[in-house]
Structure 1
Amino acid sequence: MLVGRYEIIRELGGGGFAITFLAKDYLQPSQPLCVVKQLRPERTEPRIVEFFETEATVLEKLGKYSQIPQLLAHFRENNNLYIVQEFIEGHDLKAEIIPGKQLSESYVIKLLQDVLEVLSFVHNQQVIHRDIKPENLMRRHQDGKIFLIDFGAVKELGTLIVNVQGKVTSSVIVGTPGYMPNEQKNAKPIFASDIYALGVMLIQALTGVSAVDFEEDAKTGEILWRHQARVSKHLANVLTKMVRRHYSLRYANATEVLQDISKKLSPPPTRPQQSVNWSRRRVIQTVGLMGASFSLAIVVEKFFLNNSARRKALPSNSSIPANNIPVPSPNETPALSTKSVNTKELALKTFQFKVMKVDKQGNITTISPGQAIYFIEDLGNGNTLEMVEIPGGQFLMGSPVGEKQRNTNEGPQHPMTIKVFFMGKFTVTQEQYQAVMGINPSYFQGANRPVEQVSWNDAVKFCQKLSLMTNKNYRLPSEAEWEYACRAGTTTPFYFGETITTEITNYNGGYTYGSAPPGENRQETMDVGSLPANAFGLYEMHGNVWEWCQDKYHNDYRGMPANGSAWVSGNNNPCLLRGGSWLTQSSVCRSSARLDGGNSDVAFYDFGFRVVCTPG
């Protein structure tokens, strides 16, 4: 316990001169988590303390910007110096920018713009960061925003040299090999040094080559990289100028880069949309399955089409080009089919599975049998889609106030009524996406892995084409349907219980939840069906990939429809994702956790989806 207020929870990282801890602030019960940095100079000489106070003032000023952690306190105790900052729940970009993996141009453009906006504020405050690299950029899980952390001045404070005369010098080189230009290696950093480091990081993202492994021109010393990435001429020119060997040939500061890219680089183009009037259709009420097949036959008869009618509506899969499917905006709902079917042609089946429960330490306590009803959708060429019946009912949506690592956007908790629907047993796989759309955009290739790098628009277009192929009502789940299906009758943070482990979920196992131990960090997707199902027979509702919902993102649930339908109001609101992914920490995988997914054309390699089929 530091100064009777900050209780150290665990070490987050550090080196010989500074250690970073996650701590709990007992005087801030509403936001108890914070980050404590312990700086350990060899001697707490007066000039060091003076430097500490000066840099703390700078950090306090910078922390007023919304995407720089706020300075909460600074103090001295037991000859150590401490800085307390806001805790950002998210992951650093080392989890996204991985050596050997090439990221898209649209990703790099968006990241360039996001970082420059923060760095422009920093430079306008006459501050040089001095250590721009993936580890010092955090993506907040709540909304995907980029935060700039770990300013070089803090490192310098920990490494000040005290010579035998007691004089303090600050000529220590601060930075990371591969990201430092020559002037910074000579302990003379300038604003253009930050620009160089950012450019190196973005080239690393495009090429998959580590920063320390870049080739250089033998004569000029310039970085050679264009042959290793397919990139537009405009972006290539911007990045090349950012990493020029001599600072006089680079952009002078972040504002100058921003001004240049606003002329040269437009945001990633959205997919063409056709203007179309989509009508919201009345969803037919159905009764649950009461031990006999009569009520199920009523549901089925409303939305299955017999084979002859299907042949008239759709001669072949190839007759529906993906590019000709109009994409509704996130505040529009596609029209649904109301054609009936001869129930004799329906091949309903049941399947068995195992449902696991864990204790607070993540140990499996029970394994019980489960059974669910499903049907198989034929996608052609041997490809199928399994759709599981989700019985209607009521539940409390959102998280209770006392749930660990709860966000305010998960409340207020409220009752919700859900009607019967069918949901994909798995997230849509690459094989299924290829069968319907004719392409596979995924970064982690594998037929049975979930399709990723798909935007909301992509997911809606898939549903539209699948609906035309089958004459059934396929769409994305509403957010209420998704949480109801994920919980499967449970009220705990996860459908397994009070915690999860990487034995039963694919997430970044370096982060723990509750009393469970750390686990594996796979750093990639897994085949669907690899991990246990919930009580409804749905697999990987926690982790693996985020899943798009129909709804637009809202900051809380005030004003949300109570009938389970999608909440699509708010023209400028972003789209919404659920479930967490292989990339995220454990708390984001909770049944109630929500993510602002950005615009409808945003796609990352942990964004996927699963489909819903409803009565028409």
Structure 2
Amino acid sequence: MSPVLAGRYQIERELGKGGFGLTYLARDLHLPGYPLCVVKQLKPQFKSPKKLKTAQRLFETEAKALQKLGKYPQIPQLLAYFTEEGEFYLVQEYIQGHELSQEIHQGQPWSEEQVIQLLKDILTPLKFLHDRQVIHRDIKPNNLMRRKPDQTLVLIDFGAVKQHLSELTQWGEKNQRTVRIGTPGYMPSEQAVGQPKFCSDIYAVGMISIEALTGKPALSLPADPETLEIIWQPFATHASPRLREVLQNMVRYHFNSRYVSAQEALEEVNRLQTLTVPTPALDIVPLKPAQLKSLESTLLSLPQPYQGSLSKFSFEVVTVNAWGKIIQQENREAQYFQEDLGEGIVLDMVVIPGGEFLMGSPEREGSDDEKPQHLVTVPPFYMGKFLITQAQWRRVASFPQVNISLESNPSYFKGENLPVEQVSWYDCEEFCARLSQYTGNTYRLPSEAEWEYACRAGTTTPFHFGETLTTDLANYDGNYIDDPEGKNRAKTTPVGSFPPNGFGLYDMHGNLWEWCADHWHDRYDRAPTDGSIWLDSDEWTRRVIRGGSWFLTYSIFRRSADRNHRNAGDRYCTFGLRVVHPIVPD
């Protein structure tokens, strides 16, 4: 006959074993029908009476804490706990189903939609735990069960009790070892040295999601030898930048750079889902002839830069409808000046007239971080006609250092007329400082308001081209929700390869994300209304990037109003810059 524990739980069979004991499937003989339950036997690796007494006290404290969680649909209920013959037992609700590890297979990456749902399924019960000050400590695919009746994911096998029993195992040893509760591949650095935090659980959830998204086992992913960050994004080219950003923030090497709790991570995931909703069609509002004439008059009457003279250039502006068909073509002129950088390299700076515009997106477009839409008055300024090229970067990098060193050729894609990439916000600040020192004129990154004002160029549609974007108009992967796919070039293109906007600026949509001077803010509730740079006292705040890039993502993330952010030190082959020269001194 099968053994009966505590005179109540009859063992049916062994479910598994590990370093801390055994797990059994059992029946509760005290309840009608003898329902199934799970009995976890935790076996301390010591016999000292003093240690056993302390172990029992800690075990009961942790068990009571777990029992206080009560009944929650995605966490097995703790039914009982007891000690017998110096061993500790937990009795939990039995979850019929299979482990998540049976759904994640090497070489079979999940879709973005599947991963977003997975994140929600795990973060929801984890938020319940974190709200009650409980750290799981051992989240991994084997500890997530897909319940058979309703296909809900259930979070099992807490590591808290194991943590304390392990501490007691090492207690009093001559060479006390560091406690490590967790599983390699899903356990972050601070947990590996026995200092788990709420964000340690976030790391584990992020690694599970990355494993599903890439189809690569967590332990097989390499780490950057300098930053120790996991290198996984090259294996997730089918995912949007927003999803990749959320996952990257979950698995940062240093815990201070991660989301602090499941609630914060879940909020970002929920916001991510709102961004996948197709943007409804908006009415195109082309500028009237009188407005165009006024705009051109303003352009021609603006003050000149501190030195040099203005020239004119002509260009064609196109407008498309919701299907990407060109419905309007106009010839325009703008003024600009050339900054001579030496060695035959020049920088074209276009006059941007001052004016007012509605910054952000209307209620039926975009996400919450683009709200509320608000009126901004922008003074006139000059802006780079193109993204900074590799030739321009190399030349300015040769100028005397102001604050930090610059790599002269940092780009992944090589070409004199290709935009420079793999540059951080700090690199761009140094570039502007050297450029200003060399020319005697002030150069800087644009404020976020200046960037959106310049991108829109008087338009109110999602893109300065109109309702949508096509790969004949910009360099991106060719997706805009339900529109037909275009050409995916999978690399940067030479600056000026596509039509400009109404101010004569090129590549404002796609090619590369463009760093702005501003610190990141989640909403515009207290944003400046004068076009100025919006800063925080916290220097470690993330910086704004705008415009989207060549890399795989929906063009909804390249709209005029779309916003994104990155750590100031990040360098990717999707980040570049465009400079401004203020007419009114900052």
Q: Deviations over 1:130-153 (max 9, x none)?
A: x969xx52xxxxxxxxxx756xxx
Equivalence map 1:72-83=2 (5 Å): none
Aligned runs of 1:45-64 on 2, under 5 Å? Answer: 61=125
Check 1:21–1:414 CA distance in 2 against 1; reply closer, same or farther (3 A cut): closer
What residue in structure 2 maps to residue 502 of structure 1? 471
The alpha-carbon distance between structure 1 residues 75 and 401, as it changes in their structure 2 partners (threshold 3 A), is: farther
Matched, 1:422 2:382: yes
**CA-to-partner distance for each residue in 1:592-616, whole Å, 9 max, x for gaps?**
1111212x22221111110001124
Percent identity, please: 40
Counterpart of 1:200, as a letter, is S
Which whole-Å deviations, capped at 9, do the CAs of 1:513-557 have from their partners, x for residues lacking one? 4x5212233221111111111010000001111111111110111
Distance 1:483 1:377 in 2: 24
In the alignment, residue 218 of structure 2 is paired with which amino acid? Answer: L
Q: Please tell me whether residue 544 in structure 1 is matched to residue 504 in structure 2.
A: no
Structure 1 residue runs without a partner (length 5+): 1-13, 24-33, 38-55, 69-73, 86-111, 138-147, 151-174, 180-196, 207-230, 240-257, 268-287, 305-345
1:454 to partner: Cα distance: 0.9
Q: CA deviation at 1:292?
A: 9.6
1:601 equivalenced with 2:569 (yes/no): yes
In 2, Cα distance between the equivalents of 1:551 and 1:460?
12
Matches within 5 A, 1:169-208: 179=216, 197-202=217-222
Classify 1:611/1:58 alpha carbon distance in 2 versus 1 (closer, same or farther; 3 Å). closer
Query: Within 2, Cα distance between the matches of 1:425 and 1:416?
Result: 23
Equivalent in 310, 322, 325 of residue 363 of structure 1: 325
TM-score by length of 1: 0.51
**Are 2:451 and 1:482 equivalent residues in the alignment?**
yes
Q: Map of 1:125-140 to 2, 5 A cutoff?
A: 136-137=209-210
Q: Find the counterpart in structure 1 of residue 536 from structure 2.
A: 569
CA distance in 2, matches of 1:588, 1:121: 33
Do the aligned partners of 1:452 and 1:606 also contact (CA within 8 Å) in 2?
yes
Count of aligned pairs between the two proteins: 367
Report the alpha carbon displacement of residue 36 of structure 1 after superposing the two structures with TM. Answer: 7.1
Q: Taking structure 1 as reference, are residues 544 and 294 closer, same or farther at Cα in structure 2, changes over 3 Å only?
A: closer
Q: Distance in 2 between matches of 1:113 and 1:349?
A: 59
Q: Match for 2:494 among 504, 527, 530?
A: 527
Q: String of CA shifts for 1:191-243, please: whole Å, max 9, x gaps.
A: xxxxxx3343226xx6xxxxxxxxxxxxxxxxxxxxxxxx56x969x99xxxx
Look up the equivalent residue of 1:350 and give its one-letter code: K
Say which of 380, 383, 386 aligns to 2:342. Answer: 380
Deviations 1:144-168, CA, capped at 9 Å, x for gaps: xxxx756xxxxxxxxxxxxxxxxxx
1:84–1:484: structure 2 CA closer, same or farther, 3 Å change rule?
Answer: farther
Separation in 2 of the partners of 1:580 and 1:434? Answer: 24
Residue 393 of structure 2: aligned partner:
433
* One-letter amino acid of the structure 2 residue matched with residue 472 of structure 1: N
Aligned pair in 2 of structure 1 residues 407, 124: CA closer, same or farther (>3 Å)? closer
Give 1:464 deviation, angstroms.
1.1
The answer on 1:465 being equivalent to 2:485 is no
Q: Tell me, what secondary structure is at the counterpart of 1:473?
A: coil
The 10-residue stretch of structure 1 (364-373 or 424-433) with the greater mean CA deviation from structure 2: 364-373
Q: Deviations over 1:244-302 (max 9, x none)?
A: xxxxxxxxxxxxxx9xx879xx99xxxxxxxxxxxxxxxxxxxx988599944xx22x6
Question: How far does residue 356 in structure 1 lie from its aligned partner after superposition?
Answer: 1.4
CA distance in 1 between counterparts of 2:380 and 2:199 reads 55
The match for 1:247 is: none
CA distance in 1 between partners of 2:328 and 2:559 (Å): 20
Is residue 558 of structure 2 the alignment partner of residue 614 of structure 1?
no
Contact persistence 2:186–2:204 (CA under 8 A): no
How many Å separate the matches in 1 of 2:412 and 2:129?
Answer: 34
State the one-letter code of the partner of 1:348.
L
Give me the whole-angstrom Cα distance separating, in 2, the residues matched to 1:485 and 1:396. Answer: 12
Q: Verify: 1:408 aligned to 2:368, yes or no.
A: yes
Specify the alignment match of 1:171 in structure 2: none
Report the 3-state secondary structure (helix = DSSP H, G, I; strand = E; otherwise coil) of the residue aligned with 1:462: helix
**Corresponding position of 2:361:** 399
Partner of 1:210: none
CA contact (8 A) 1:480 1:564 kept: yes
Change in 2 beyond 3 A, CA 1:500/1:122: same
1:585 Cα deviation (Å)? Answer: 2.4
Q: CA 1:495 to 1:122, structure 2 compared with 1: closer, same or farther past 3 Å?
A: same
**C-alpha contact (below 8 Å) 1:122/1:128 kept by paired residues:** no
Query: 1:493 is matched with which residue: 455, 462, 474?
Result: 462
User: Equivalents in 2 of 1:128, 1:374: separation in Å?
Assistant: 52
CA distance in structure 2 between the aligned counterparts of 1:117 and 1:542, rounded to whole angstroms: 40
In the alignment, is the contact (CA less than 8 A) between 1:512 and 1:586 conserved in 2?
Answer: yes
- The structure-2 alpha-carbon separation of the partners of 1:65 and 1:585, relative to structure 1 and needing over 3 Å to count, comes to farther
- 2: CA distance, partners of 1:472 / 1:128: 49
Q: 1:396: how far off?
A: 0.3
Q: Any residues of structure 2 matched to 1:217-296 within 5 Å, and which?
A: 231=225, 291=297, 295-296=301-302
Q: CA deviation at 1:364?
A: 2.1
Shift of 1:479: 0.7
Q: Distance in 1 between matches of 2:187 and 2:441?
A: 41
2:76 maps to none
Hey, what's the Cα distance between the residues in 2 that align with 1:400 and 1:481? 19
Give the equivalent residue in structure 1 for 2:558.
589
Q: Whole-Å Cα distance in 1 between the matches of residues 522 and 499 of structure 2?
A: 31
2:424 — aligned with what? Answer: 455
Q: Displacement of 1:113 after TM fit?
A: 11
CA contact (8 A) 1:551 1:567 kept: yes
The one-letter code matched in structure 1 to 2:445 is L
Asked whether the equivalents of residues 36 and 83 of structure 1 are also in contact (C-alpha less than 8 Å), the reply is no
After superposition, what is the alpha-carbon deviation per residue over 1:45-89, rounded to whole angstroms, capped at 9, x for unaligned? xxxxxxxxxxx98785357699x9xxxxx999xxx986799xxxx
AA partner of residue 459 (structure 1): C
Partner of 1:412: helix, strand, or coil? coil
Q: Given that residues 545 and 606 in structure 1 are in contact (C-alpha distance below 8 angstroms), is that contact kept between their aligned partners in structure 2? A: yes
Once residues 114 and 467 of structure 1 are traced to their aligned partners in structure 2, the CA distance between those partners, rounded to angstroms, is 46
**3-state secondary structure, aligned to 1:377:** strand
* Pairs within 5 Å for 1:149-188: 149=212, 179=216
Q: Name the CA distance, whole Å, in 2 between partners of 1:63 and 1:512.
A: 33
Larger Rg: 2
Cα distance change of structure 1 residues 122 and 536 upon mapping to structure 2, 3 Å threshold: same
Contact 1:35 1:84 in 2 (8 A): no
Say if 1:289 and 1:295, in contact at 8 Å, map to a contact too.
Answer: no
Q: Could you say if the C-alpha distance between residues 582 and 294 of structure 1 is closer, same or farther in structure 2, counting changes exceeding 3 Å?
A: closer
Q: CA deviation at 1:586?
A: 1.0
User: Residues of 2 paired with 1:350 and 1:608: CA distance?
Assistant: 26
**2:329 matches 1:303:** no
Alignment of 1:343-358 (within 5 A): 346-358=308-320
For the 8 Å contact 2:334–2:503, the answer to whether it is kept is yes
Contact 2:547 2:558 in 1 (8 A): yes
- 1:409-458 CA-partner distances (Å, limit 9, x unpaired): 10100001011111000010110000111312111111111111111111
Q: Aligned partner of 1:476: which letter?
A: L
> What stretches of structure 2 of length at least 5 have no aligned partner?
1-104, 131-138, 140-145, 155-184, 232-249, 259-293, 399-407
Instruction: Describe the superposition over 1:555-598 as per-residue Cα deviations: whole angstroms up to 9, x where unpaired.
Output: 11111111111111241421111111112321110101111212
